[in-house]
Amino acid sequence: MSGWALFWVVTVYTAVGVFALLALWVTVAGFRDIQRMLAELREQREDDPPR
Amino acid sequence: MLASPSFGALDTAIVVVYLAISVAAGLLANRVVTGLTGYLVAGRSLGTALSVATMTGSELGLITVMYNAQLGYREGFKALHIGLVAGLVTLVVGVTGFVVVRLRQTGVMTIPEYYELRFGRRTRILGGVLLALGGILNMGLFLQVGGQFVVAVTGMSPDMLRWVMTGLLALVLVYTVLGGMVSVVLTDYVQFVVLSAGLVAMVLIVLSRPGLGMEQIVATWQQRPDEAFDPIRGHGLGYISWQAVLGFVSCAVWPTAVSRALSARDASVVRWQLGLSSLSFLVRVLVPGFMGVAAFVFLTQAGAVVGSDGGFQLEGVAYKSIQAYPVLLREVLPIGVLGLITAAMLAAFMSTHDSYLLCWASVIARDVIAPLHPNPTDRRQLLWTRVGIVAIGAWVWVWGTCFEPKQAVWDYLAITGAVFFTGAIAVLIPGLYWRRASSTGAVAALIAGLSALLGLHDVRAPLGLAEWESWQVGLSTLGLSVAAMVVGSLLFPDRARPVVEVAR
């Protein structure tokens, strides 16, 4: 396998592996962020009800 | 002999359930959103993980997947360098905070709003018009390409394309109009979860198929006479430099990405958001590009007849080069998984479409109409934004039905985007970092950006410039815009520099 071919093979495997880990973290932590965002928006809505 | 079409009832059920969840999440947002800040930047309440999800959701669209797969299918492994360059540039922007952190600290909601703070109202209006023009032209092909994906992956008749386009558009319009950015963020999250699982599963399944292992794929491309691996020999440094500019634009200048930074809780979240999203910017090119590389090998083995333009004939049916990837999915993935991956791809389509609709509509409402209106209340701006979303949606449907691009989809997107971003780079960076940048220079730079339209094949050919490559036009336009900014600012300095409020 030539240098560039090997480089792309390693890059594809590494990127997919690390992205899988990132996706797991975002899935869990993102859910908590959504709960916090909705709570903040509800607070804002109570402070500033629509006219 | 191929066993197609393989899209079954289970696949259809998975897609329908996914679409229902997506729309329900969007409708939920309508119950918590109040005011313009809530509608346009989700009350600036995004945490890091949700920021990464929504950044990935909006920037990893079906159109992105399709054009990168098209490039991989046509060019081989060397096309993957685009993702590598974009990922590296995004990482540098995230670590340094270049442009985005200063922009976030000004407290603006859109880029043209910053233009007004720094250069005055006329720059904001002109910037808003050019931004909307470039952005709306840019998303003109999204719906068409999304429809082509659905038609190819399900094995529907090509006559169904218009109906598929109409259905997809209607779904996105409903939840975007009602819930604004909160709706977009919630659906982006759902879409990120489905999409990331789908992308990883797709690579594993394709690589585990007999005849499509990594060694077989590499060996097939090594037999091609043209350079398929080395991007420097295959494309040259000029083309790669253009990709670096596009990588910078994608994370730091393109309004849909910048709106995520402007929705973040604070500057620290912005840095983390971009640093972590650099991986998404890499993967959004790398995985679809690699799927295109694999699609070429699969189609060759399946006995497809490939034409010089990349179009191919398979079992008597003619396909365009952009349909190689969905045909690969249809033929390789088992029932159930195909439904999951199709749902993931529709997730990619919807998460990009909603972000773009909201972004361009908010620019028209806030940066073009509001500055010209005597009393632009929040209620009026909300109404204009919602009407704008529907109007842009209608235009995209018409454009997607009538327009047939004569160049690679990636080139079309880069050039239409350049109408806005070449001028924007030349205005934003000096505006944020050069004290002598003036409003005359800013207006000149924005107007110079219009010359990017010469990169469109349909504009170039009648002017006798058909031999110019899109990237040459793009880099020339950027150079022209920067020169216009520098010369305009030095020759016509502002009498007093406006004070830019910084909200830390």
Q: What is the CATH number of the domain that holds B198?
A: 1.20.1730.10
Are the C-beta atoms of residues B109 and B283 closer than 8 Å to each other?
no
Judgement on whether residues B386 and B430 belong to the same structural domain of the protein:
no
Distance CA B191, CA A23 (A): 12
Reading the block at residue B46, the tokens are 């995004």
**ipTM associated with this complex:** 0.85
Nearby residues of B477 by Cβ (< 8 Å), 6 or more positions away: B418, B422, B448, B449, B451, B452, B454, B455
Are the C-beta atoms of residues A4 and B230 closer than 8 Å to each other?
yes
Q: Is the CB of B49 less than 8 angstroms away from the CB of A22?
A: no
Q: Is residue B3 part of a domain?
A: no
Q: B151 lies in which domain range?
A: 9-404
Cα B252 to chain centroid, rounded: 13
Q: Is residue B73 part of a domain?
A: yes
Nearby residues of B19 by Cβ (< 8 Å), 6 or more positions away: B171, B343, B346
Q: Which amino acid is at B418?
A: A
Q: Is residue B85 part of a domain?
A: yes
> For B247-287, how does the pLDDT look when each residue is reduced to its tens digit (9 = 90+)?
999 899 988 888 778 877 788 888 988 998 899 899 989 99
Domain boundary among B404, B420, B439: B404
Q: Is residue B2 part of a domain?
A: no
> For B156-209, how does the pLDDT look when each residue is reduced to its tens digit (9 = 90+)?
888 888 888 898 888 888 777 766 667 777 777 887 888 888 889 889 999 998
Q: What is the pLDDT of residue B501?
A: 46
Distance CA B138, CA B141 (A): 7
The distance of A35 to chain B (nearest Cα, Å) reads 10
Q: Is residue B42 part of a domain?
A: yes
Judgement on whether residues B221 and B341 belong to the same structural domain of the protein:
yes
Domain count, chain B: 2
Judgement on whether residues B43 and B109 belong to the same structural domain of the protein:
yes
Q: What is the pLDDT of residue B486?
A: 97
Mean pLDDT within A11-30? 93
Pick out chain B residues at pLDDT < 70.
1-6, 30-45, 178-181, 406-407, 496-504
Are the C-beta atoms of residues B356 and B135 closer than 8 Å to each other?
yes
- pLDDT of A11 above 90: yes
Domain boundary among B343, B377, B404: B404
Reading the block at residue B119, the tokens are 């250069």
Judgement on whether residues B170 and B302 belong to the same structural domain of the protein:
yes
Distance CA B117, CA B102 (A): 13
How many residues are present in chain B?
A: 504
Residues of chain A with Cβ-Cβ distance to B83 below 8 Å are 15
Judgement on whether residues B357 and B474 belong to the same structural domain of the protein:
no
Q: Is the CB of A5 less than 8 angstroms away from the CB of B279?
A: no
Are the C-beta atoms of residues B60 and B195 closer than 8 Å to each other?
yes
Distance CA B392, CA B135 (A): 10
Q: Is residue B31 part of a domain?
A: yes
Nearest to B450 by CA among B413, B422, B489: B422
- pLDDT of A51 above 50: no
Q: What is the pLDDT of residue B305?
A: 87
Are the C-beta atoms of residues B233 and B72 closer than 8 Å to each other?
no
Distance CA B33, CA A45 (A): 7
Nearest to B198 by CA among B465, B44, B33, B11: B11
Chain A contact for B77 (CB, 8 A cutoff): yes
How many residues are present in chain A?
A: 51
Domain boundary among B404, B419, B436: B404
Judgement on whether residues B443 and B367 belong to the same structural domain of the protein:
no
Q: Is residue B254 part of a domain?
A: yes
Distance CA B321, CA B342 (A): 19
Q: What is the strand order of the sheet B312-314 is part of?
A: B305-306, B312-314, B317-319
In whole angstroms, how far apart are CA A5 and each of B16, B72, B133?
A: 40, 14, 41
SS (H, E, C) A1-51: CCHHHHHHHHHHHHHHHHHHHHHHHHHHHHHHHHHHHHHHHHHHHHHCCCC
Q: Residue with structure tokens 């949606």?
A: B393
DSSP state of B313: E
Judgement on whether residues B411 and B309 belong to the same structural domain of the protein:
no
Q: What is the pLDDT of residue B315?
A: 84
Judgement on whether residues B347 and B434 belong to the same structural domain of the protein:
no
Q: Is the CB of A37 less than 8 angstroms away from the CB of B200?
A: no
Q: Is residue B343 part of a domain?
A: yes
Reading the block at residue B319, the tokens are 């396909």
Q: Which amino acid is at B454?
A: L
- The helix (H) or strand (E) run that includes residue B305 is strand B305-306
Kindly write down the DSSP assignment for every residue of B463-502, as one continuous string: GT-TTS-HHHHHHHHHHHHHHHHHHHHHHS--SSPPPPP-
The distance of A31 to chain B (nearest Cα, Å) reads 8
Chain A contact for B205 (CB, 8 A cutoff): no
Judgement on whether residues B208 and B315 belong to the same structural domain of the protein:
yes
DSSP state of B334: P
Q: What is the pLDDT of residue B3?
A: 41
Q: Is the CB of A30 less than 8 angstroms away from the CB of B189?
A: yes
Judgement on whether residues B493 and B381 belong to the same structural domain of the protein:
no
Domain ranges of chain A: 1-44
3 state SS of B117: helix
Distance CA B432, CA B415 (A): 25
Q: What is the pLDDT of residue A13?
A: 95
Distance CA B206, CA B332 (A): 7
Q: Using CB atoms within 10 Å of the CB of residue B282, give its burial: 0 to 12 exposed, 13 to 18 middle, 19+ buried.
A: buried
Q: What is the pLDDT of residue B226?
A: 81
Q: Which amino acid is at A1?
A: M
Reading the block at residue A33, the tokens are 């962020």
Residues of chain A with Cβ-Cβ distance to B185 below 8 Å are 34, 37
Chain A contact for B276 (CB, 8 A cutoff): yes
Cis peptide before B5 (omega within 30 of 0): yes
Q: What is the pLDDT of residue B468?
A: 82
3 state SS of B286: helix
Q: Which of B34, B52, B287 sits opposite A26 (nearest CB)?
A: B52
Q: What is the pLDDT of residue A46?
A: 67
